[in-house]
């Protein structure tokens, strides 16, 4: 099974640090930031777990629930969280999936044999309330994720859904956006009464 953008995120029942969950039920009407780690008590993972916890309010503003995964047990996760909180000066409350048998990691194609047969690479899945995968990113084990980019892409996806727009390179909230070519100029007059700048017939920029 290949997971692609637009496909339904596979559902699963699993034990986490916050108790047993059904993944789809847990997402509910929210978005989800589902991200994997190679192992507990590893340095890069510790900083990433801590950064996610520090950004709890930012994820909440975006109606987005973080959930981590590491190929260790709930008991190991819970003691590791104490280290995360201590070294990263935070309080981690989001769930971490226990996956010692690699069942979820394999379901989500997080095991890359050239990197490791047993440890998950740094996968990212942004999943919308319809349980559709909207973005995937994969980092090697040695490189920590860019959380500014994770928040930026959630903003871009949510704005695109709400306003029927696309976002240009390096877009940030407040920047101009793109009117997709699938929307004709005639349709755009109703959807974007504020008008737009037509750089080319296929490149129209507007404010939202």
Catalytic residue numbers, as ranges: 45
Q: Are 48 and 37 in contact (CB under 8 A)?
A: yes
Cα dist from 189 to 59, 169, 194, 206, whole Å: 34, 24, 8, 12
**How large is the angle between the packed helices 43-54 and 74-88, nearest 10 degrees?**
70
Q: Are 39 and 119 in contact (CB under 8 A)?
A: yes
- Measured in whole angstroms, the distance separating CA 152 from the mean position of its chain's CA atoms is 10
Question: Taking Cα atoms as reference points, which of 151, 156, 162 lies closest to residue 59?
Answer: 151
Query: What is the helix (H) or strand (E) element at residue 36, kind and residue range?
Result: strand 31-37
């Amino acid at each position: 099974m290949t997971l692609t953008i637009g496909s339904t995120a596979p559902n699963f029942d699993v034990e986490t640090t916050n108790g047993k969950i059904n993944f789809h039920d847990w997402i509910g009407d929210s978005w989800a930031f589902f991200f994997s780690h190679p192992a507990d008590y590893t340095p890069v993972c510790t900083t990433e777990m801590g950064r996610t916890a520090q950004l709890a309010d930012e994820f909440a503003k975006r109606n987005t629930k973080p959930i981590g995964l590491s190929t260790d047990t709930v008991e190991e996760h819970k003691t590791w969280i104490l280290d995360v909180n201590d070294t990263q000066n935070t309080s981690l409350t989001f769930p971490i999936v226990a996956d010692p048998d690699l069942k979820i990691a394999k379901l989500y194609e997080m095991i890359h044999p050239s990197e490791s047969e047993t440890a998950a690479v740094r996968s990212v899945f942004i999943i919308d309330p319809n349980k559709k995968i909207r973005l995937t990113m994969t980092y090697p084990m040695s490189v920590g994720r860019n959380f500014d980019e994770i928040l930026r892409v959630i903003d871009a996806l949510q704005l695109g859904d709400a306003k029927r727009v696309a976002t240009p390179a390096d877009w940030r909230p407040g920047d101009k956006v793109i009117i997709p070519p699938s929307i004709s100029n005639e349709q755009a007059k109703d959807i974007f009464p504020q008008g737009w700048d037509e750089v080319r017939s296929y490149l129209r920029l507007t404010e939202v």
